Structures are given as structure tokens and as C-alpha cells.
Amino acid sequence: MSVSASNTAARDRTSLVQVALGARSYDIVIGHGLVDELGARIAALRPGAKAFIVTDDNVARYALDQAEAALANAGIAANRAIVPPGEASKSFGVFEQVCEAIIAARIERGDLVVALGGGVIGDLAGFAAAVVRRGLDYVQVPTTLLAQVDSSVGGKTAIDSARGKNLVGAFHQPILVLADTALLDTLPEREFRSGYAEVAKYGLLGDAAFFAWLEANWRDIFSGAGAAGSRARAEAVAVCCRAKAAIVARDERETGDRALLNLGHTFGHALEAACGFSDRLLHGEAIAIGMALAFEFSARRQGLVSKAEAARASRHLAAVGLPTRIGDIAGPPPSVDQLIELIAQDKKVRRGMLTFILVRGIGAAFVETGVDEREVRAFLSEKLAER
Ligand SMILES: NC(=O)c1ccc[n+]([C@@H]2O[C@H](COP(=O)([O-])OP(=O)(O)OC[C@H]3O[C@@H](n4cnc5c(N)ncnc54)[C@H](O)[C@@H]3O)[C@@H](O)[C@H]2O)c1
Ligand SMILES: [Zn+2]
């Protein structure tokens, strides 16, 4: 097969997922090489609009020229802001610079912000779009696996406060999400694997058949090579986006169901915080441990799920190279007191009762609001003793 023929074949495998939110509905388009269509798709949605791209130094190196060329080919005038990579860019300082740059470029109501990057850029650019001129439309072009399956969909945008992550933000839905799976080829393997924890999460929380498919196909998803790899990646992203879109359509502002997406995140956030949100433990790595713990905790607690099923969940996460035990984290372990303190801070506590996402099985998560803090303490003491 010639290169152009295989590219065409890949392009024909574009999937479309709709996020159904009435007047704020939008499409998530998933496929290989989609950045080339950015300009044409924007022109079709907002004829005559100007664009302002927000990206980071790493993504600029790999994808900015392609994105700018796609906009130019469709006759769209574009300016840009390039910020340093990393969570530190979700700060008031960088946020101010991005807002000022958008205003200086005379982006007005009717024009567009384009978030070209991972979750950091999506959150930063999305929040700028939410507030500059009291709200501009924006397009998400997620470039990490985490952003393609999670952060670019659902309209949560935020920057960080000195007191905690994502404490200053807004709900602001994009008008289009363009998930180009070819962009994932340059993603460092550790970042890809960390994003994969969120992929597995969708299977573990609500889709046992998808989890079984992941157990059989994760190698293709990781390699991304050839037709099988490209198809498996696009399929995995599409299944996750469909699941998230359905949950968001039911519960846009997280008053109910949307909380299920936090499977593994209560334990996970506490571990991330205990590691100072550093390279010691990436978000997805923390969530992998958190999900394994949520399964074990559920198994221990009134035998909600069998030990064998809990072991199967951990086994898959470990097979792809994700950590699944607190002892897998390098360096000195956190103390039980520290973890309990962090969990209590993170979650609403009512009369000593904590809220957790627990499971009845693979693909069967539910919200449990009455978890006794003492029970969590006893469980974590056991887990820390296992090291
Ligand atoms: N809004 C939401 O619903 C939501 C959900 C989950 C997470 N988040 C947020 O997402 C952020 C994490 O996102 P992330 O994991 O994508 O991190 P990130 O945006 O920092 O990207 C990770 C690293 O990969 C680099 N990178 C991105 N795309 C690349 C590519 N194609 N090739 C090579 N390198 C590339 C980045 O420069 C960065 O160094 C956190 O701030 C988190 O709070 C938001
Ligand atoms: Zn997460």
C-alpha cells in the first residue's frame, strides 16, 4: 500500500461523538491526521472568524506549524501565545498574559480561541475563553492521551490557586473537539501510559466489555503503529469520549453521575498531593494506584466485589506498566495520617463520613457517601504495612 493510500484509509476512519447539551451541543471528531482539517472545520462552524492559538513550547515544536498551515489554508487569520509546558502555567500570572495576548490580538465575540495541547493548555485556554470579553468560543485540539479521553471534553476549565489545584475556573463548553490520534506519536511514553490510566478507568467504572477489549488490545493502542495501531487508538479514544459525553450530557455540572469519573481519584489525589504533584508520581499513575485501591477497598468492604475481580483490575494496570500499590512509588512513603488528612481536605466530609466511588464489579462503579473515616484509616494502614 502506498503512503497516501494508507493515509486516506486512516482518514476514512474518522469517528464522531456528539456531546448533547441543547444549544451548547458540540462534536468530538476523532481520527488520524485531523489537524490538517482544523481550518476547514472552523470555517464551516464560524465563517469569517479569526483564531487565537494557545499552546506550550513542546507542542509548538511538533504541531504548531501544521495547525497554523491548516488555518491559513482555510483563509483564517491566526495569532498565538506559547507558554512554558507544565502545571505551573495554570497560574494567575500566565493566565493574565494569555488573556492580554488574546485582547491585544483583537479577538472579539464571534472569533475563536484554539487550545492546542494537553490538559494544562485546555484548562488554561478554556478558562481564558470563558472570561475574556465575558466569553469567547473555543476549540479543543487535545494533544495528550489524557486530554483526548478526558480533559478536552465536558467544559471544565480552571487554573490553580496557591491553596490547591483547579480552584479558580468555570464551566465553559468548547464548540468543537478535534482529537488527532497522530499527535500522540510524539508524546513521551510515560505521559502516554499515565493517560492510559484514564482510558482503563472508563472500562472499570462502567463498561466491562471495553475493559476486556483493552486487556486484549492494549499493545496496539500503545504502539499506535500500522493500521491495527491506528485503528485501536482511535477506537479507544472514541469509546472513552462516548462514555464521557453521555455522562456530561446527563450531569453537566457534577451534581450526580459525573462523580463516577472520579473513580480512583480520592486515593489518587491524596497520593499526588503527598508527592507534591511532582514527577515522582504523574496524575494517571496516582489514579492507577487509586483505582486498584478502590477495588481492594470495595472487596474488603462487605465483599462488594470479589477478590479475584479486584486482582484482575490491578493485573491489567500493572501489565501496561502502571503502578498499582503505594509501595510502587519511589521514595519515602506517605503516612496514614497524612493521607487521611489529604482525603478529608479533598472530599466533602459529613460527620466523619467520606464520599468514595466504589465498585460492585468491573464496569459497575457507584457513589458511596457513607464511608467511615476509621475504615479508610484501617485499610490504608494495612496497605502501607504491605510494602
Ligand atoms: N478539565 C478537565 O476536565 C480535566 C480533566 C483531567 C485533567 N485536567 C487537567 O489536565 C492537566 C494534565 O493534562 P496532561 O496530562 O495532558 O498534561 P500536560 O498538558 O502538562 O501535558 C503533558 C506533557 O506532554 C507535553 N505534550 C503535550 N502534547 C504533546 C505531544 N503531542 N507530543 C509531545 N509532548 C506533548 C506537554 O508539553 C507536557 O510537557 C492537569 O492540569 C489537570 O488538572 C483537566
Ligand atoms: Zn484524572
Average pLDDT over residues 275-289: 95
Mean of all residue pLDDT scores within the chain: 94
For residue 204 the three cell numbers come to 472499570
The binding-site residues of ligand 1, defined as CB within 6 angstroms of any ligand atom, are 56, 58-59, 62, 85-87, 90, 117-121, 123, 143-144, 146-147, 150-151, 154, 156, 165-166, 183, 186-187, 191, 283
C-alpha 262 to ligand 2 mean position (Å): 7
310 to 343, 362, 368: CA distances (angstroms): 22, 8, 18
User: CA–CA separation, 255 vs 184, rounded Å?
Assistant: 33
Q: What integer pLDDT is reported at residue 365 of this predicted model? A: 97
Exposure of 256 by Cβ count < 10 A (0-12 exposed, 13-18 middle, 19+ buried)?
exposed
Q: What percent of the chain has pLDDT over 70?
A: 96
Q: Minimum mean pLDDT among 142-151, 170-179, 193-202, 298-307: which range?
A: 298-307
Phi, psi of 140 (to 5 degrees): -95, 125
As a whole number of angstroms, the distance between CA 71 and CA 113 comes to: 12
pLDDT greater than 50 at residue 9 = no
Residue-wise pLDDT tens digits, 208-243: 999 999 999 999 999 999 999 999 999 999 999 999
Express each pLDDT in 78-125 by its tens digit: 999 999 999 999 999 999 999 999 999 999 999 999 999 999 999 999
Q: How far is the CA of 81 from the centre of ligand 1 (A)?
A: 17
pLDDT score for 348: 63
Give pLDDT, residue 81.
98
Mean pLDDT of 43-63: 98
DSSP label of 329 = S
- Burial degree of 104 (CB within 10 A; 0-12, 13-18, 19+): exposed
CA distance 32 to 116: 16
pLDDT band at 254 (very low <50, low <70, confident <90, very high): confident
Name the residue among 165, 104, 102, 90 with its Cα closest to residue 131: 102
Residue 5: is its pLDDT beyond 60? no
Q: To test the ligand 1 pocket, which listed residue (62, 66, 83, 120) has its Cβ within 8 A of the most ligand atoms?
A: 120
Q: With 0-12 CB in 10 A as exposed, 13-18 as middle and 19+ as buried, what is 161?
A: middle
- Please answer whether residues 280 and 329 qualify as being in contact, where contact means their C-beta atoms are separated by less than 8 angstroms: yes
Bridge partners of 118? Answer: none
Report how far residue 14's alpha carbon sits from residue 238's, in angstroms, rounded to the nearest whole number: 10
pLDDT at position 346 is: 72
Does residue 373 contact residue 349 with C-beta atoms inside 8 Å?
yes
Confidence of residue 3 (pLDDT cuts 50, 70, 90): very low
- Averaged over 188-212, what is the pLDDT? 98
Q: How confident is the model at residue 188, as a pLDDT?
A: 97
Question: In this predicted structure, what is the pLDDT of residue 374?
Answer: 93
Number of helical H runs and strand E runs in the chain: 15, 12
What is residue 387's predicted lDDT score, i.e. its pLDDT? 67
